[in-house]
């Protein structure tokens, strides 16, 4: 009897991964920066630009930059001031222009113009954190990785999959519990839902309506 009760409690507390991903896919709307798809250079650069910046602003700035420099070699040829002007008004555009100039030099010299394909190599690039590295691996190279931004962090906590204070902590916990088959989809699906239901109240109502919490 005790064993049966323990089983029921454990079963009840198991994360509802399958249901969540099924519902989120049904409500999915494409997010702006996905248009760069398998292009590793554009995915890396646009993700760096997206930090602390709305996707719509990032998209316009990215397209403006890529019109001038559609590959890493052309980016390397631009002056830092020109990069700065092209990516304005993304958040921290001066710092990001400095990062991009340094990244272009590193990749053209150390990696012969090829965007690194491992997380450790990506993390060595200026301005590249875990989220950016994982997004590049995921989107550009189809390597399963959990990219945790504010949407993934917030929704994972509301679903009670994790109980964390930062996106970094959330990534570590999700790696432990989330089946690998979901790693490639979690960022795009959770970002899409987070963009549609912008307040915590709207998000909770959506999750309750679909019996996910």
* Residue ranges of domains in the chain, CATH in brackets: 16-29+146-209 (no CATH), 38-141 (1.10.340.30)
Catalytic residue among 42, 96, 101, 131: 131
Q: Residue 47 has what pLDDT?
A: 97
- From the list 190, 187, 174, the residue with the least C-alpha distance to 43 is 187
Whether 172 is a known active-site residue: answer no
pLDDT per position as a tens digit, 65-108: 999 999 999 999 999 999 999 999 999 999 999 999 999 999 99
Residue 37 confidence (pLDDT): 83
Rounded-to-integer distance, Cα 28 and Cα 193, Å: 7
Higher pLDDT residue, 4 or 55?
A: 55
Residue 11: the pLDDT is 41
Confidence of residue 13 (pLDDT cuts 50, 70, 90): low
pLDDT at 116 over 60: yes
Reported pTM: 0.90
Residues 6+ apart with CB under 8 A from 194: 150, 151, 152, 154, 155, 203
pLDDT digits over 119-141, tens only?
999 999 999 999 999 999 999 99
Helices and strands in the chain: count of H runs, count of E runs:
14, 0
Reported confidence tier of residue 7, pLDDT bands at 50, 70, 90: very low
Please report the pLDDT score of residue 15 as a whole number.
86
């Amino acid at each position: 009897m005790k064993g049966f009760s323990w089983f029921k409690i454990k079963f009840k507390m198991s994360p509802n991964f399958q249901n969540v991903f099924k519902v989120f896919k049904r409500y999915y709307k494409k997010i702006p920066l996905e248009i760069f798809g398998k292009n590793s250079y554009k995915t890396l650069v646009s993700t760096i630009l997206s930090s602390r910046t709305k996707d719509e602003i990032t998209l316009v700035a990215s397209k403006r930059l890529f019109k001038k420099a559609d590959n890493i070699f052309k980016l390397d040829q631009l002056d830092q001031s020109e990069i700065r002007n092209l990516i304005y008004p993304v958040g921290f555009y001066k710092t990001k222009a400095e990062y991009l100039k340094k990244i272009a030099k590193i990749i053209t010299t150390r990696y012969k113009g090829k965007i690194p394909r491992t997380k450790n190599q990506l993390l060595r690039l200026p301005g590249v954190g875990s989220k950016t590295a994982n997004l590049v691996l995921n989107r550009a190279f189809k390597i399963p990785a959990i990219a945790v931004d504010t949407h993934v962090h917030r929704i994972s906590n509301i679903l009670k999959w994790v109980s964390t204070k930062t996106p970094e902590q959330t990534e570590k916990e999700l790696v432990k519990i989330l089946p690998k088959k979901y790693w490639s989809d979690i960022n795009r699906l959770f970002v899409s839902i987070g963009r549609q239901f912008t307040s915590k109240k709207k998000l909770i109502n959506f999750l309750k309506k679909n019996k996910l919490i």
